[in-house]
Amino acid sequence: MKLTAKNIHPLPSHVAIVPDGNGRWAQKHGFSRVHGHREGVLNMLRMIQYINAYPIKYVTFYGFSTENWNRPEPEVQGLFDLVEEFVTQHLDEIHQKNIKISHIGRWNGLPSNLQNAIQKAVAHTANNSGMTLNIAWNYGGRAEIVDAVTKYVKNENKPQQLDEKTFANYLYTAGMPDVDLLIRTGNETRLSNFLIWQTAYSEYYFTKVLWPDFGKRDIEKALLEYSKRNRRFGGL
């Protein structure tokens, strides 16, 4: 049976993906790590197209973490170049699909040309009403919470009573629902400081498949597995 939005129910509103395994995929095939990341970026485009066929409103990709700065400089620069290339070359294609691009993470430290490319993409797609594509670049879950506290403290008109709902308005994902389904590829079973506030009650789906090999059937399996979960949010 062909899996579609009609026979997978319920579907998540917000899917977060940790696309792990690019380096190991490259090593397995005798390529450089940067080549592996290139294949991973190309697969991200394919995955956006797959997911966009479903009525899933939000998708967040973990692109570059605040800890990834510890990687070798050539690899970091290669990642920057690939993302700038991806945003520049595929912006019109994404825009034509009515997808809205959003950046979550810290701007400081990123090369100015990469900042400009991402900001252009965000502005160009700002009025789109389809799926929102969050690119988590220079992102860390703990850093996000620190930044949210800083914004709250600096806000002269802040509410005196701070609760979880109010605090969420200071996060990078303000106005978006929490993550329903978190997918991590590459046989790793940890969050790695990704959306730690937003995934408090997420369903997790871990797979051994390396990200460049993660395809249409794999995302279908993840969505089907999610549809079978009984989400109780602490209740019976």
pLDDT digits (tens, 9 = 90+) for 54-97: 999 999 999 999 999 999 898 899 889 998 998 899 999 999 99
pLDDT > 70 in the chain, percent: 97
Whether the predicted pLDDT of 208 surpasses 80 = yes
Question: Residues 147-203: pLDDT tens digits?
Answer: 999 999 998 888 778 899 999 999 999 999 999 999 999 999 999 999 999 999 999
Cα separation of 122 and 101, whole Å? Answer: 5
Average pLDDT score over residue span 204-228: 97
Q: How far apart are CA 34 and CA 42, in angstroms?
A: 12
CA pair distance 219, 114, nearest whole angstrom: 29
Other beta carbons within 10 Å of 5: 12
Residue 141: what pLDDT?
97
Mean pLDDT across the chain: 93
Give pLDDT, residue 5.
59
Residue 30, judged by CB atoms within 10 A of its CB (0-12, 13-18, 19+), counts as exposed
Separation between Cα atoms, residue 234 and residue 236, nearest integer Å? 7
Give the residue from 62, 38, 72, 43 showing the smallest Cα distance to 190. Answer: 62
Pairing mode, strands 14-18 and 58-65? parallel
CATH code of domain 14-139+178-228: 3.40.1180.10
Asked whether the predicted pLDDT for residue 16 surpasses 70, the reply is: yes
pLDDT of 235 > 70? The answer is no
pLDDT, position 1: 53
The mean per-residue pLDDT over the stretch 32-42 comes to 94
pLDDT over 60 at 121, yes or no: yes
- What is the per-residue pLDDT for 2? 60
The residues assigned a catalytic role are 20, 68
Judged against a pLDDT cut of 60, whether residue 3 lies above it is answered with: no
Between 15 and 155, name the one with better pLDDT: 15
Q: Where do the domains of the chain lie?
A: 14-139+178-228
Q: Residue 234: which pLDDT band, with cuts at 50, 70 and 90?
A: confident
Over residues 210-228, the mean pLDDT reads 97
**What integer pLDDT is reported at residue 4 of this predicted model?**
62
> Residue 199: what pLDDT?
97
